Structure 1
Amino acid sequence: MTDSKETGKKKLGPLGWLGHSHVPLAVQVFFFIVFSVLLVVVLVKVCEIPSPHEQEQSSQTNIYQELTQLKAGVDRLCRPCPWDWTLFQRNCYFFSVAQRTWNDSATACQNMGAQLVVIKSDEEQNFLQKASKMRGSTWMGLIDINKESTWHWVDGSPLTLSFMKYWNKGEPNNLGEEDCAEFKEEGWNDAKCNNKKFWICKRPETSCPSE
């Protein structure tokens, strides 16, 4: 009896109720096609994964593009003078908000890539005189330390006769070893170099990239 019952039952193969020996050809073909499609899809995905060399090239390209965009942004922000400087006739001027001796003022300008102001024109003189008058006595880059009454600018050039008219009345008088020049009120004055005053630095403007 047992053998007959077991004989009457269908044996289950790896595919469940379908015996492996009785799977229709159409079903086998269907599973083969599905398997083939899945294999192709996997191979395509693998091929799409970039190689380490391609990844490195892509990374370098992205960095270059970002640097190019950053440079373009910086160029648009380019200013002929630093933010806290004033532009006048293609030169930049720094007007101090603190007071120092003449030597310390000259050093401060040098540390900023500039020098105590050297006046080159009447227009520049008028501009600086008005600006310094609003602040008070202000050092300029003019001294006669090396030889009394022989005034020269910090760039080594001598004071020309055309600028002598800017001394205040009775100045320079060298009262008590006054060897450094300052803007004072309506003109120039000689003063003791160890006195603390405001100062003005000057440097050429920066050339910005053309659009």
Structure 2
Amino acid sequence: MNDSEEETTQQLSSLDEEHLINSGTIYSIKGFQFQPPYVLKRAAVHLCHGHGLFVQLFCLTVSAILLLVVLVKVSNVANSQEQEQVNKDKIYQKMAQLKPQIKHLCRPCPWDWMPFQGNCYFFSKFQQNWHDSVTACTKMGAQLVVIKSDDEQSFLQQTSKEKGNAWMGMSDLKHEGTWHWVDGSHLLFSFMKYWNDGEPNNEAEEDCAEFRDSGWNDVPCSAKKYWICKKPAVSCTKK
């Protein structure tokens, strides 16, 4: 090999070493980055320090292998992203198909109301006075609860016991000692048994009724209590 050929070989080897090995090359294709493994890089460094056509071919082969590895990894990432998008499209398509069916589903009571024997009951999350509670129920197309049966009384008494003392739709505001419901009906004699012992006593202008402990209690209407609304459940007759 003459001096010119030897010089060319050295330049090629130096170029391969600089750009493929020593620089810690990071290949980037469409945002995907890959750095050659350290062991492979060090092995190629030592070999590429040699001279001759064989060394040049070896360095080119290493470069081709590294490029192939990068392409394989990029391809895998691309396939994974494509499959993820396909799955998303399928989910959106299923949701679009189910949407009309969901609209036609019938719920006897709204989501935040509790069903019981053909009626829906709303138990408030905050407290307010009796008059504001009556208004709140009216705005929701309901009434502050009017009790019509012993089963209903047991259900409401137990629930209010768990959630906190709550207003019912009963008062003696029109005439002291004469209790009536917000729908205009009078308190039945058979329901008098639900008053707690010694109640109603009207100690301090206590004109409104609440669920307390295991029975009813009269309390000033200005007091802040939870409240219970009631309205009929929706009929879900199939068309």
TM-score, normalising length: structure 1: 0.65
Tell me, yes or no, if structure 1 residue 86 matches structure 2 residue 111: no
Query: Residue type matched to 2:103 in 1?
Result: V
1:128 is the counterpart of 2:130: no
What are the ranges of 5 or more consecutive residues in structure 2 without an aligned counterpart?
Answer: 1-97
Q: Using the alignment, how far apart are the partners of 2:130 and 2:100 within structure 1?
A: 39
Corresponding position of 2:193 = 165
Q: How does 1:86-125 map to 2 (within 5 A)?
A: 86-125=114-153
Aligned AA (1:199): W
Whether 2:209 is the aligned partner of 1:181: answer yes
Unpaired runs of at least 5, structure 1: 1-68
RMSD: 1.4
Q: Please say if 1:152 is aligned against 2:175.
A: no
Query: Offset at 1:72?
Result: 4.7
Is the partner of 1:145 in helix, strand or coil? coil
Q: Give runs of aligned pairs for residues 1-211 of structure 1, distance below 5 A.
A: 72-75=101-104, 77-210=105-238
Q: Percent identity?
A: 63
Runs of 4+ that moved beyond 4 A:
69-72
Q: Offset of 1:208 from its aligned partner?
A: 2.1
SS in 2 for 1:183: strand
- Give TM-score, length-normalised by structure 2: 0.58
**3-state secondary structure, aligned to 2:163:** coil
Deviation digits for residues 14-73 of structure 1 (CA, Å, limit 9, x no counterpart)? xxxxxxxxxxxxxxxxxxxxxxxxxxxxxxxxxxxxxxxxxxxxxxxxxxxxxxx97654
Partner SS state of residue 107, structure 1: helix
The C-alpha deviation readout for 1:68-113, integer Å capped at 9, x for no partner, is: x9765422x2100000000000000000010010000010000000
Q: Which has the higher helix share?
A: 2
Q: Report Cα offsets for 1:99-156 as digits up to 9, x if no partner.
A: 0100000100000000000000000000000000012210000000010010000000
Q: Secondary structure at the match of 1:134?
A: helix
Q: Which amino acid aligns with 2:129?
A: T
CA distance in 2, matches of 1:73, 1:196: 39
Distance in 2 separating the partners of 1:104 and 1:188: 20
CA distance in 1, matches of 2:224, 2:102: 41
1:195 Cα offset (Å) = 0.4
